[in-house]
Amino acid sequence: MSQPASDDYGYRCTDRMVRERHSLKRCAEEFLRSYGGDFEFLTGAKSFLEIRGPLPVAMTRGVLNCMRSDPQGQHMLKGFREELPPRPRLEVVERRRPAWINLPSEWHYDFVYSTAKTAQVVHYLDRKRSAVRWYPHTGQFELRLFSHCKPLYKRLYHEAGEPSYLFASHVIEGRRMCPLCMRRAS
């Protein structure tokens, strides 16, 4: 399993904490010296420390935040309970989180069509089934498009490339209405 990004945690060390508490910085550096994992940010910070010396404030803050999701790091931070923001009961929250949530969406178009050059039809957008879906565990958003005749398209928002379906407010030139969509919609 890969190490979760420190962004997954609601409690954060701040630059100010690092500046005001030198012992926190020492603790972060001590943690790095003994770190044997492969989380990229931490291995980078470890090399920085070994090659260039003391860590900049922002990097120290990042290390401290990573330490809070690492068993060894947590152990080393035990003495700083007072200084650090309280850890929320994430484990419980996590288990109760749904796998996904369809966000309320308002669709401004009636038609949807494939951008493929060989495509000949335009479909009716199924407003009820089409959705923007949010995955709370990964923070990802997914566009899910349905026409009246079939599921059309699923795509995570961060994926690059040209969209393979577009919206339209009318049957575009050179295409005809999908007969199956017409039958289902009537």
123 binds Zn ion per the rule CB under 5 A: yes
From 158, 186, 162, select the one nearest 114 (Cα to Cα). 162
Instruction: Pick the piece of the chain touching Zn ion (CB under 5 A) from 45-53, 82-90, 120-128, 160-168.
Output: 120-128
The Cα 141–Cα 58 span in angstroms is 29
Radius of gyration in angstroms for the set of CA atoms belonging to the chain, rounded to a whole number:
25
Tell the smallest beta-carbon distance from residue 124 to Zn ion (Å).
7
In the complex with Zn ion, the residue whose CB is nearer, 143 or 180, is 180
In the complex with Zn ion, the residue whose CB is nearer, 21 or 175, is 175
Helix boundaries (H) for 22-154: 22-34, 40-52, 57-67, 71-76, 90-96
Helix axes 40-52, 22-34, angle to 10 degrees: 110
178 binds Zn ion per the rule CB under 5 A: yes
CA 152 → CA 97, 108, 118, 135, 158, distances in Å?
27, 17, 16, 20, 19
The residue count for binding Zn ion (CB under 5 A) is 6
Given 49, 130, 147, 152, the residue binding Zn ion (CB under 5 A): 147
In the complex with Zn ion, the residue whose CB is nearer, 13 or 178, is 178
In the complex with Zn ion, the residue whose CB is nearer, 70 or 126, is 126
Supply the DSSP string of 43-80, one letter for each residue. Answer: HHHHHHHHHH-SPPHHHHHHHHHHHTTSHHHHHHTGGG
181 binds Zn ion per the rule CB under 5 A: yes
Residue 83 sits at φ, ψ, to 5 deg, of: -80, -30
Instruction: Pick the piece of the chain touching Zn ion (CB under 5 A) from 5-13, 36-44, 51-59, 176-184.
Output: 176-184
Q: Which of residues 82-111 bind Zn ion (CB under 5 A)?
A: none
Instruction: Pick the piece of the chain touching Zn ion (CB under 5 A) from 49-57, 118-126, 128-136, 168-176.
Output: 118-126
Asked whether the beta carbons of 185 and 132 are under 8 A apart, the reply is: no
Given 67, 149, 152, 165, the residue binding Zn ion (CB under 5 A): 149
Instruction: Pick the piece of the chain touching Zn ion (CB under 5 A) from 16-24, 60-68, 108-116, 121-129.
Output: 121-129
CB atoms within 10 A of CB 24: 22
Sites of contact with Zn ion (CB under 5 A) = 123, 147, 149, 178, 180-181
